Chains A and B, each alone.
Chain A
Amino acid sequence: MFAVKGLKKTFGNNTVLKSIDMQVDKGKVIAILGPSGSGKTTLLRCLNALEIPDEGIVGFEDHQVDFSQKVKQQSLIQLRRKSGMVFQSYNLFPHRTVLENIMEGPVQVQKRDKKTVREEAIELLDKVGLKDKKDLYPYQLSGGQQQRVGIARALAIKPELMLFDEPTSALDPELIGEVLRVMRDLADEGWTMVVVTHEIKFAQEIADEVIFIDGGVIVEQGAPAEVLSNPKEERTQRFLHRILNPTD
């Protein structure tokens, strides 16, 4: 459904992604793991053209963008409209209420009927457990609540693919669970998701496939049972050991 071929990204003379190929099948959840600075965020941002790759083909079956050539702005916008993104730092619109945040995309971009969108938005809020917060402003919410609104906002445009960049890493430990629960529900509902995360246990539970990247390449990929419980590559083993035994 969604695929990446020969993706390359350089910042100055720092080659962050060397050559990435990946495929995301409909309804699958892919977890991306890797050490800090390995290029996880950059990869995810390349998937919806927030970062413009130097080379490579990114896209859905019916809309592919080849970054080796000059790309039209409209083509990028088209690509972005097919995926929803959830940020580490939420990035809610502070000047709009919770409900307005969620309705903004469907109403302003997709030009859909306001009344229908409103009903859908309230349903989405119900799904993330924040129906009673619809008229509040983002600053009146906790981090976990803001992130759940962030998820609802991304879902509202009815994307084919949901992208998550460490959605819980800015949260206090006691708030992580509520966000992970919402994500697990989405996985169960059959959403196609790519999730960058440091939550190994969570990845193990919800991912259909785990990708471990380091040094700009995919070091290892496969079912979570293989990659996480029984890694073949030494770099993966070291990374997992470090993250599971932080005091060693």
Chain B
Amino acid sequence: MLTNNMVLGGIVIPWELMQQSFWPILIEGIKVTIPLTLISFFIGMIIALITALVRISKIKPLKWIFNIYVSAIRGTPLLVQLFIIFYLLPELNVTLDPYPTAIIAFSLNVGAYASEIIRASILSVPKGQWEAGYTIGMSYRKTLFRVILPQALRVSVPPLSNSFIGLVKETSLASQILVTELFRKSQQIGATNLDQIVYIYILAAFIYWIICFILSLAQHQLERRLDRYTVR
């Protein structure tokens, strides 16, 4: 057994175990963590856009409801939100698997945070742009969709990419409601190798890191592309 381990300054690294565990953990990452992130982020973005538009509008009662939603999500821990939704759905006689339950929780969470980003970037577009839209005869809606949003979304790409990368890591909380994603898989492998559990967690961390590193490269590419409309 010792021959398959690497000795580094007195510490014995279970190399073979790490190699054996790498693929099973990575596969859960590709099969569960990444889709969970993508789907939740996609739904979250739709929620965020609607929330941002309602919150900059003058539709009073609706505005308050969305204000409360954003405030509640921002004011409570994601883990608590996850548990509430996990236990609330059965109370409401809704039977859902842990995986879609996690999607609901993450979508609502990312939706609230991203709505703040989108709202701020809409407000950052100069007032003169609204007026330019109005003077060529556009309505509020038309100006919003043709003039303001394209500029606002461009501004919000960097902070939204950060949210996306953040979400990759936050999906590890889904392990707590029994979704077998990247981290829960590591826990399961770790449970049968308790002596070397720390190395399994280091391996999991490493895989998260690789995923996020690739995403941050993609983020840079995207930002570079969007830059061509603006002076730097």
Contacts and interface: CB of A to CB of B under 8 A. Distances in A.
B151 A109 contact: no
Interface string B108-152: 000000000000000000101101101111111010001100110
B23 interface: no
A48 B135 CA distance: 8
Contacts of A89: 128
Given A87-B131, A104-B146, A108-B146, A94 B136 contact: no
Contacts of B131: 50, 85, 87, 91
Contact of B138 (A83, A91, A108, A154): A108
A92 interface: yes
Nearest to B132: A91
Q: Is the interface of B mostly helix, strand, loop or mixed?
A: helix
A110 B229 contact: no
Contact of B142 (A109, A137, A156): A109
A187 to B, nearest CB: 20
A92 B147 CA distance: 10
Given A108-B146, A139-B230, A94 B151 contact: yes
B118 to A, nearest CB: 16
Interface string A101-119: 0001100111000000000
A94 B142 contact: no
Nearest to A94: B229
Given A81-B137, A108-B138, A139-B229, A87 B150 contact: no
Nearest to B153: A95
A81 B126 CA distance: 22
Contacts of B137: 77, 80-81, 105, 109-110, 157
A73 B142 CA distance: 14
B124 to A, nearest CB: 13
A91 B140 CA distance: 17
B142 A95 contact: no
Interface in B72-124: none
Contacts of B129: 91, 93
A87 B130 CA distance: 12
Contacts of A95: 150-151, 154, 229
B231 interface: yes
A91 B230 CA distance: 14
A83 B137 CA distance: 9
A93 B135 contact: no
Interface string A50-94: 100000000000000000000001000100110111010101111
B134 A80 contact: yes
Nearest to B231: A139
Contacts of A104: 136, 146
B230 to A, nearest CB: 6
Contacts of B230: 94, 139
A28 interface: no
Contacts of B147: 93
Nearest to A163: B135
Given A104-B146, A139-B231, A87 B136 contact: no
A153 interface: yes
A148 to B, nearest CB: 15
A88 B132 CA distance: 12
Interface in B141-186: 142, 146-147, 150-151, 154
B135 A109 contact: no
Nearest to A104: B136
A92 B132 contact: yes
Contacts of B151: 94-95
15 contacts: A50-B131, A73-B139, A73-B140, A77-B134, A80-B137, A84-B135, A91-B126, A91-B132, A94-B230, A95-B154, A105-B138, A108-B146, A109-B142, A157-B136, A157-B137
Interface of B: 126, 128-129, 131-132, 134-140, 142, 146-147, 150-151, 154, 228-231
Instruction: Rank and list the top 5 A-B pairs by shortest CB-CB distance, nearest first.
Output: A105-B136, A81-B137, A91-B132, A91-B128, A85-B135
